[in-house]
Amino acid sequence: MKQQIVDYIKNFLDQRIQTSYDAMQAAQASANEESKSSAGDKYETSRAMGQLDRDMHGLMHEQAKREKAIVERIDMSLTFKKGAVGAFLKTSSGNYFLAVSVGICKIGNDSIMIISPQSPIGALLMGKGKGETFDFRGKEAMIEEIF
């Protein structure tokens, strides 16, 4: 199942990379196509707004590429005794995969929350072992299995 989760994450991030790249290119093209008008500052304002839009999509593009690099470094042959990047944890409150923040992934009948170690619940799961408990939003849960 871990391989299916990693494949899901990679596909998700590939889509995010492509979408942000396309948006970045469109924003750059829009900024480049602005023509001088008799309104004076309108031209410069439009170009500046286009550049800001391009920069924002560029940051999103780079973030998605960094996240994909993290996922590509996950060694699928490792088994885990404690929560760490690449670990799949079955808990009494749900299933979690520690990697990058993606959200819920449905594989078969299982729902898996794909989270980063920096997220609130990810930070709680990091370093915890089978049988240990954690408290999240006032609810106690136990780690049942780690793969």
Please state, in angstroms and rounded to a whole number, the distance separating the CA atoms of residues 94 and 114: 11
Opening angle at CA 20, ends 17 and 25, nearest 5: 120
Please state, in angstroms and rounded to a whole number, the distance separating the CA atoms of residues 128 and 87: 11
pLDDT given at position 49: 73
DSSP 147: -
pLDDT given at position 53: 81
- Kindly report the number of other CB atoms within 10 A of residue 73's CB atom: 10
Q: Which residues pair with 127 in a beta bridge?
A: none
Which parts of 73-133 fold into alpha helices (H)? 120-125
Please state, in angstroms and rounded to a whole number, the distance separating the CA atoms of residues 60 and 46: 21
Long-range contacts formed by 14-18: CB under 8 A, 24+ apart: 14/68, 16/60, 16/64, 17/61, 17/64, 17/65, 17/68
Mean pLDDT by 10 residues, the chain (147 residues): 94 96 86 58 66 86 95 91 95 96 93 96 96 94 96
Please state, in angstroms and rounded to a whole number, the distance separating the CA atoms of residues 121 and 137: 9
pLDDT given at position 38: 44
pLDDT given at position 54: 82
pLDDT given at position 105: 94
